[in-house]
Amino acid sequence: MLGKARSALRQAFRFTAAGLTLGEKWRLALPGPILSVGGVLIHNVFLKYYTDIIGLSPKYVAWVYIIYNIWNAINDPVLGVWIDRMRHRAHRGKYVYIMRVTVPFMIVASFLMMLSNPAWDQWLIFLLYTGLLFIYDTAATAYSIAYQSFVLIAAPTKEERIDVGVIQNYVSQAMSFLITLIPTLLLVGDGKQEVIIPIFSAVIVAEAIFFTWALRGLREDAQMYESLDKQHIDTKEVYKEAWQIIKSRPFLTFITFTIVTGPVFFYFTPFLYYMDSVVQSTGIEATVIDVSTHVIALLFLPVMGSIVKENGTKKSVYLGTIFVVLGYGGIFLADGIWSAAASYVLIVFAVNYLRTAISPVGALLIDENERTTGVRKTGLFNGLFSLFTVAFSSLQTVIFINVIGAYGYDGLAAEQSESAMLGIRVATGLIPLAAFLLGLIPLALYPFDKKKEDDISAFSNNARRGGVKM
């Protein structure tokens, strides 16, 4: 028994799912994490930067994200359909080409977002923040849809996608260490804009370099697109197809679960506010807790992947309930830095485990729809995913900012009131915990068990590789 356990553990850390080689999985994984790190910078770090350093009122920040949500509702499905209809060209490719074109827009918008001046009027800061977020989000959405579409045809089976997802998580955590190390040091405590801008600029330059390096390793094989180029949706049918997808039980239950549990995955920004205002730690203390916590989670990522492969999505999420309850319940009740740190360990572990558990679902929905309709609609699906997840995920920012604002949080105050600290505790602990427990209801209605997931994975492998045995 012990020998079998050791063998399973070694296998988990070797990413041995057949199909793609380990090197191919790494090359496929690299372009994803850098986008997620950019998202952390834009939607988490800059949030605290604008409230505490620039001095933008929380009510203006909330309006920024309300407008952002409305734009996403229009933007994401349109981009998805456009990418679906775009043909692969031998001289430029398709998905990788889109990713390369959108990167400069994201980098420039990120840099300009730092340059707001606290002396400007609130409405001017609001307009600049909103406009640059609009540019960044449009480019990031096109990049994200293209990348996700590329991964699904390059890694057609559930097992390969889980391995790629685990590697992505490794890279994301390593990069998040570098990205969040700086704001944790600079934004917890007394931060100064003249110090922050040069350091953030260096981070954005490093981000641009990694984007360039990651995309250089991707190769588009025309053979990958042979079956896809034969499949087209008539423009008149797009809205009908979108509605059919939205009202289907697999999509509806998964998206409802994702939206409802959104606060569970929105944890780093609350951590910054919690450590700064409730625990009143130094930047170094907050950094040590954040870094050590993520290192612990990293050690278990391959094991998490193996658990998901063995049990399927639904059962795996149920198994994660205990960590969510202990982590978020614990941080609400924590009475000191060490109890807060222990709770944060469980939160980060739970978030990484749940991300791994649900990572194959989007691809499974796309594959199953192709199996039943005969047409692959990756861009349309990813556009709808972005509409319902990315757009609604920004509501977590709105909820968090409004909750702490309602309790009296003042970003320019030297010390927060008892009421404001309670508001941060509620927004950091109780809201995510309640959201997860509520999310178990749509999860119970999600129709794919492990056997169904394996059947869909086998179909995808046959469609992309012509029945090559795994």
Residue 378 — very low, low, confident or very high, per pLDDT cuts 50/70/90? Answer: confident
Q: Is residue 298 situated within a structural domain?
A: yes
Can you state the percent helix, strand and coil of the chain, rounding each to 5? 80, 0, 20
Strand partners, 93: 89
Assign residue 359 the CATH number of its domain.
1.20.1250.20
Residue 178 — very low, low, confident or very high, per pLDDT cuts 50/70/90? Answer: low
Q: Is residue 457 situated within a structural domain?
A: yes
Nearest C-alpha neighbor of 82 from the set 66, 91, 64, 95? 95
Alpha helical stretches, state H, 114-192: 122-154, 158-187
Q: Is residue 228 situated within a structural domain?
A: no
pLDDT at 272 over 60: yes
Total structural domains within the chain? 1
The per-residue pLDDT for 326 is 96
Q: What mean pLDDT comes out for the span 130-158?
A: 86
The larger pLDDT score, comparing residue 4 to residue 76, is at 76
Distance CA 457, CA 453 (A): 6
Q: What is the DSSP letter of 136?
A: H
Residue 13 — very low, low, confident or very high, per pLDDT cuts 50/70/90? Answer: very low
Q: Is residue 196 situated within a structural domain?
A: yes
Q: Is residue 11 situated within a structural domain?
A: no
Q: Is residue 54 situated within a structural domain?
A: yes
Distance CA 118, CA 55 (A): 6
Alpha-carbon Rg for the chain, nearest whole angstrom, is: 22
The pair of three-digit structure tokens given for residue 40, joined into one six-digit string: 């952390």
Whole domain around residue 158: which residue ranges? 20-220+236-465
Q: Is residue 87 situated within a structural domain?
A: yes
Distance CA 165, CA 143 (A): 17
pLDDT at 258 over 70: yes
Comparing 195-204, 365-374, 451-460, the range with the smallest average pLDDT is 195-204
The per-residue pLDDT for 325 is 96
Which tens digits make up the pLDDT trace of 396-412?
878 888 899 889 888 77
CA-based diameter of the chain, in Å?
Answer: 68
Q: What mean pLDDT comes out for the span 68-83?
A: 76
Dihedral sign for Cα atoms in the order 159, 161, 166, 170: positive
Q: Is residue 12 situated within a structural domain?
A: no
Q: What mean pLDDT comes out for the span 194-218?
A: 80
The per-residue pLDDT for 164 is 87
The per-residue pLDDT for 2 is 44
Comparing 79-83, 132-136, 320-324, 331-335, the range with the smallest average pLDDT is 79-83
Nearest C-alpha neighbor of 433 from the set 334, 326, 349? 326
